[in-house]
Amino acid sequence: MTETTVVEVMAELADLEDPKIREVNEKHGDDHGVNLGKLRALAKRLKTRQELACRLWETGDTAARLLATLICRPKAFERDELDAMMREARTPKVHDWLVNYVVKKNPHAEELRQVWSADPDPVVASAGWALTTERVAKKPDGLDLAGLLDVIEAEMKDAPDRLQWAMNHCLAQIGIEYAEHRARAIDIGERLEVLKDYPTSPGCTSPFAPIWINEIVRRQHGDESQTPLPTGAAMAPARSPGSM
């Protein structure tokens, strides 16, 4: 791709900038003002363009990096490239999209999961836990679920916000997916009280693990006999800090 193409895309992103959207996003740590629906429409028009995606990522601009995650070829990145990109992902939304739209689809995802989970940088570690939650839900073979609960029980209470959120998601996922670990997962959540008072909008489920686990299990089994949940609890958990 030519430099002109990158310049043209950056100009189009600039035209999509909305000061009101930026103001809201900045409260959550994201320094861009582009409507995400319009960003996705732009990505759909551009289609998959790996070289352009790499050039957009190199700009360091948040909107450009979000667009890059949508038009890249996830399997084309080498392990070290993704590791560097994760450490460069300054904002919560770029971090989340990089994990969900790129790393999860890459053949190095499992290796990165193991490396990142033990990283001293809590933001990088949170990416490792996000990948672990994905495995809990889809590819649990080989995972030590009891061991994961041990780590969560010991470390989640005092973990920084984004790492704490990722560990809490893993806790809830274990409780939802595996009946044999459900009671312990709920007990850990009740004792640690992580996100117990997190503000939850109508139509969203509280991210407090005991509520989250019980609500999803109840809905999966069609059991309406359990104790009613707080108003506003539903299938989708409340969003993580910075994910608005």
- Report yes or no: 131 and 173 within 8 Å, Cβ to Cβ: no
Distance, in Å, from the CA atom of 110 to the CA atom of 113, rounded to the nearest integer, reads 5
Model confidence at 241, in pLDDT bands (50, 70, 90)? low
Burial of 81 (0-12, 13-18, 19+ CB in 10 A): middle
User: Is residue 205 classed as helix, strand or coil in its secondary structure?
Assistant: strand
Model pLDDT, residue 28: 85
Instruction: Report the b/e string of 129-158 with b at 16+ CB within 10 A.
Output: bbbbbbbbeeeeeeeebeebbeebbeebee
Model pLDDT, residue 105: 98
Two structure tokens written together for 191: 């004792």
The phi and psi torsions of 29 (rounded to 5 degrees) equal 90, 10
Whether 75 has a pLDDT exceeding 90, the answer reads yes
Model pLDDT, residue 237: 57
- List, in order, residues 6 or more apart from 65 with CB less than 8 Å away: 56, 57, 59, 89, 94, 98
Among all chains, which residue has been given the structure tokens 């933001």? 123
Whether 86 has a pLDDT exceeding 60, the answer reads yes
For residues 25-42, give the mean pLDDT.
92
CA distances from 243 to 20, 21, 216, 239, 240 (A): 17, 13, 21, 6, 5
Whether 230 has a pLDDT exceeding 50, the answer reads no
Model confidence at 224, in pLDDT bands (50, 70, 90)? very low
Among all chains, which residue has been given the structure tokens 């909305």? 18
For residues 149-155, give the mean pLDDT.
98
Model pLDDT, residue 234: 34
For residues 224-236, give the mean pLDDT.
38
Whether 233 has a pLDDT exceeding 70, the answer reads no
Cα angle: 54, vertex 57, 61; to 5 degrees:
155
| Mean pLDDT of the residues in the chain | 90
Model confidence at 112, in pLDDT bands (50, 70, 90)? very high
Model pLDDT, residue 26: 87
Distance, in Å, from the CA atom of 148 to the CA atom of 156, rounded to the nearest integer, reads 11
For 1-20, write each residue's pLDDT tens digit: 445 599 999 999 999 999 99
User: Is residue 223 classed as helix, strand or coil in its secondary structure?
Assistant: coil
Q: What percent of the chain has pLDDT over 70?
A: 89
